[in-house]
Amino acid sequence: MREIIGELKSHPLALFADFRRLFLGRVISAVGDKFFSIAIAWWVLSEAGDKSKFHLGLIMAVNVLPVVLFGPLLGTLSDRSNKRAVMLGADAARAGLVLLLGLLLWSGRLNLYWLYAICFLISGFGPLFESAVAASILKLTSPEKMPQAVAADASVLQLSNVVGSALGSVLMAAAGVAGAFMFNAAGYASSFAAVWGIKTKLDPEERTESSFIAEFKEGLAYTFGNRPLLSLILTFAAFNFFVSPILILIPMIVKFKLAASVTWLAIFETFFAGGSAALAAYLSFREARGSIYRWLFASVLLVGLSFGGLYFATDKYLICGVLFLGGAALGGGNTLAITLFQSTVPDEMKGRFFSVLTTLAYAVMPLAFMTNGLLAEKFSVNFCLAMNGAATLALSFVVLLVPRIKSEKA
Residue boundaries of the structural domains of the chain? 12-398
Residue type, 194: A
Task: Judge contact between 336 and 296, C-beta under 8 A.
Answer: yes
Task: Identify the band that residue 139 occupies on the pLDDT scale cut at 50, 70 and 90.
Answer: confident
Residues 236-247 have a mean pLDDT of: 82
Question: For residue range 296-306, what is the model confidence (pLDDT) as tens digits?
Answer: 888 888 888 88
pLDDT at 351: 65
Q: What's the topology of domain 12-398? A: Growth Hormone; Chain: A; (1.20.1250)
- The CA distances from residue 396 to 293, 317, 393, 405, in Å, are 10, 27, 5, 18
Question: Cβ–Cβ contacts within 10 Å for residue 44, how many?
Answer: 23
Q: What gap in Å lies between CA 83 and CA 354, rounded to an integer? A: 14
* Least confident segment among 149-158, 182-191, 234-243, 251-260: 149-158
- The CA distances from residue 20 to 16, 141, 153, in Å, are 6, 10, 10
pLDDT at 408: 43
Residues 228-235 have a mean pLDDT of: 78
More confident residue, 74 or 402: 402
Residues 181-207 have a mean pLDDT of: 81
Task: Identify the band that residue 49 occupies on the pLDDT scale cut at 50, 70 and 90.
Answer: low
pLDDT at 260: 80
Residues 47-66 have a mean pLDDT of: 75
More confident residue, 245 or 290: 245
pLDDT at 219: 66
Residues 355-381 have a mean pLDDT of: 79
pLDDT of residue 410 exceeding 50: no
From the list 353, 328, 64, the residue with the least C-alpha distance to 218 is: 353
The mean of the pLDDT values for the chain is 76
Task: Judge contact between 124 and 66, C-beta under 8 A.
Answer: yes
Q: What's the number of CA atoms in the CB half-sphere (13 Å) around residue 5?
A: 2
